[in-house]
Structure 1
């Protein structure tokens, strides 16, 4: 997994877009010559990955939205974002 810390500022790189497919009722992450289907929770996380917020701010916001412990959220978010970074559809 790619290293990421609380100061990392994740963002979608140029050419990668998060889109909601209204016809199929699903979220997709569109990258050159690739498409990833993401669930609603992952889409919420990705919407917060704007390159402005750092990982700590993203985790804090998710903790507020879902009324969940930040330590649990951070572990899951880091795993998900690390996987997407390894696939080159996320930058930090």
Structure 2
């Protein structure tokens, strides 16, 4: 039996969160952030950490991009595209999920 998983497409109004099986923690020995997931350890770069810290299930991707555009003095449409691309990749790997079921399967 083959199980077909439908891909969730994230949009600017999707509200991202880390699922219960994924944790973002600070590793004191290495003085850096690490993402822990079943059978995976990821060492995200500084920008990825900033994005992931904002994935708390309360703000939309658009709101996150708007805040980051102010923090980094960059155009919001450019930041939004980068954030969407990053989070879509993580969603495809089941490391990010939309809260409340927004962002639909494709």
Into which bin does the TM-score normalised by the smaller protein fall? over 0.9
Matching residue of 2:71: 65
| Whole-Å separation in 2 of the counterparts to 1:44 and 1:31 | 18
Q: Counterparts in 2 of 1:21-40, with a 5 A limit?
A: 21-40=27-46
Which is higher, the Rg of structure 1 or of structure 2? Answer: 2
| Whole-Å separation in 2 of the counterparts to 1:79 and 1:6 | 11
Matching residue of 1:44: 50
Matching residue of 2:84: 78
**Structure showing greater relative contact order (alpha-carbon pairs closer than 8 Å, 6 or more residues apart):** 2
| Whole-Å separation in 1 of the counterparts to 2:16 and 2:51 | 10
Q: TM-score, with normalisation over the residues of structure 2? A: 0.81
In 2, are the aligned partners of 1:2 and 1:83 still within 8 Å (CA)? no
Q: How many residues align?
A: 92
Runs of 4+ in structure 1 off by over 4 angstroms are: none
More helix by share: 1
Q: TM-score, with normalisation over the residues of structure 1? A: 0.93
Runs of 5+ in structure 2 lacking a partner?
1-6, 99-106
What is the CA RMSD across the aligned residues, in angstroms?
Answer: 1.3
Matching residue of 2:101: none
